[in-house]
Amino acid sequence: MTCVQDKQKVSIAYIVRDKSRKILEEIPESKPFMYIHGFGNIIPGLENALTNRQVGEKFTVSIDHKMGYGPFRKDLVIEVPKEELKDVGELWIGMELEMYREGDLSDFQVPEYPEDILSENDEDNEQPELYTIKEIREETVVMDGNHPFAGMDLIFEVTVLNVEQPSFTELESGMPDEPEEGEEGEDFDNDRRHWF
């Protein structure tokens, strides 16, 4: 049987629960999550737990927030004047905006390609580039740069669906190729919410 090793393309289905067993996220077998193992594209606790797992194997693993999405950082909750967001258009709770920084100036835009946000992150800039609107006030907007699961200890129920050799371009980028237009099968919805 094929098992999960570094430089292999892996497809998984999973359910994420919090400590009270409430379901936070579910990726079904019909639309699996794909990643390249060993590139650090998923949280360390899950990548470690997947190593050497067999295709078809189902397992449950508890992951401490330190090996998951890290601690919740209050400094990543910011209040921005609405004037700075006037070019964005209509705002709503839960809306995600990408932040561009140049010196002391910052600019917020709707992300065109959410899957690129993590892969193009500037190593010298520790600030995340994706912020979620949490509250809309009269003159300001409260935005949160933490991952929704930051600070949480999680339980993953995982099924390993497939392990295969990645293409040359996938190995170079560390990311699965997008399927051809009209291609059926695996859904390539690897946005930030599914990036571990």
Fold of 74-144: Thrombin, subunit H (2.40.10)
**Is-above-0.85 flag for pTM?**
no
Mean pLDDT of the chain: 85
Domain locations along the chain = 1-68+152-166, 74-144
Q: Mind listing the pLDDT tens digit for each residue in 43-89?
A: 999 999 999 999 999 999 999 999 999 999 999 999 999 999 988 98
Options 3.10.50.40, 1.10.3720.10, 3.30.465.10, 3.40.50.1000; CATH for 1-68+152-166 is: 3.10.50.40
Query: Are 152 and 18 in contact, with CB atoms under 8 Å apart?
Result: yes
Does residue 15 surpass a pLDDT of 60? Answer: yes
89-98 burial code (b ≥16 CB/10 A, e <16):
eeeeeebbbb
Cα–Cα separations (whole angstroms), residue 70 to 63, 64, 143? 11, 9, 18
Q: Mind listing the pLDDT tens digit for each residue in 83-124?
A: 999 889 899 999 999 987 776 667 777 776 544 434 344 444
Cα–Cα separations (whole angstroms), residue 55 to 5, 39, 175, 189? 11, 20, 20, 22
